[in-house]
Amino acid sequence: MTEKRKLSEALESAKERGRAWPGEMLADPEMLTEEQMAQRLGVSPAEIKGLRRQHRVLALNLLGETRYPAFQTGPNGMILPCLDQIIARLNGQFLEAYRLLMSKTHDGTNRRLHELLATGEADKVLGEADAWQSGAFT
């Protein structure tokens, strides 16, 4: 197989994964609807919309539907600390914030960055957000 053909097949495979991803995310039970997120936080769906507009909760638009990652609320039913600061440091880009928070730490524990927020290690995550935004984090 030629290098050109290998590259072409790899690109087509990546495109297919990109097309499938939104549907997979919609089916994920850890991606909450607006109503589910409101119930989890004990507020109205209208308040969730307001929190989303203020970048205080993380929301993803998937195939015209909005979903909220469940990890952004702690066991106490509160929004994880510094989530709004992380979103702000990534220029309000929800998808980038999601990708960052789903990435794994480099400290040997293999935890996801959202897990650090849940355990009170917000400074580490804010540092990672700064590095991510500056292009130093890949």
Helix orientation angle between 94-102 and 122-134, rounded to the nearest 10 degrees: 120
Give the predicted TM-score (pTM) of the model. Answer: 0.80
The number of beta carbons lying within 10 Å of the beta carbon of residue 129 is 23
Task: Clarify whether residues 4 and 61 are in a common domain.
Answer: yes
Do the beta carbons of residue 40 and residue 29 sit within 8 Å? no
- Sign of the Cα torsion 95, 96, 97, 102 reads positive
Q: Which helix (H) or strand (E) covers residue 75, if one does?
A: none
Out of 73, 102, 117, pick the residue that ends a domain.
73
* 10: confidence class by pLDDT, cuts 50, 70, 90: low
Percent of the chain with pLDDT over 90: 51
Q: What tokens were used for 44? A: 């109205």
Task: Clarify whether residues 93 and 124 are in a common domain.
Answer: yes
Range of the domain at 133: 80-138
Task: Clarify whether residues 28 and 88 are in a common domain.
Answer: no
**Does residue 28 register a pLDDT over 60?**
yes
* 71: confidence class by pLDDT, cuts 50, 70, 90: very high
Give which of 66, 68, 85, 72 is closest to 113, Cα–Cα. 72
State how many domains the chain has.
Answer: 2
Q: Which residues make beta-bridge pairs with 104?
A: 112
Higher pLDDT, 11 or 72: 72
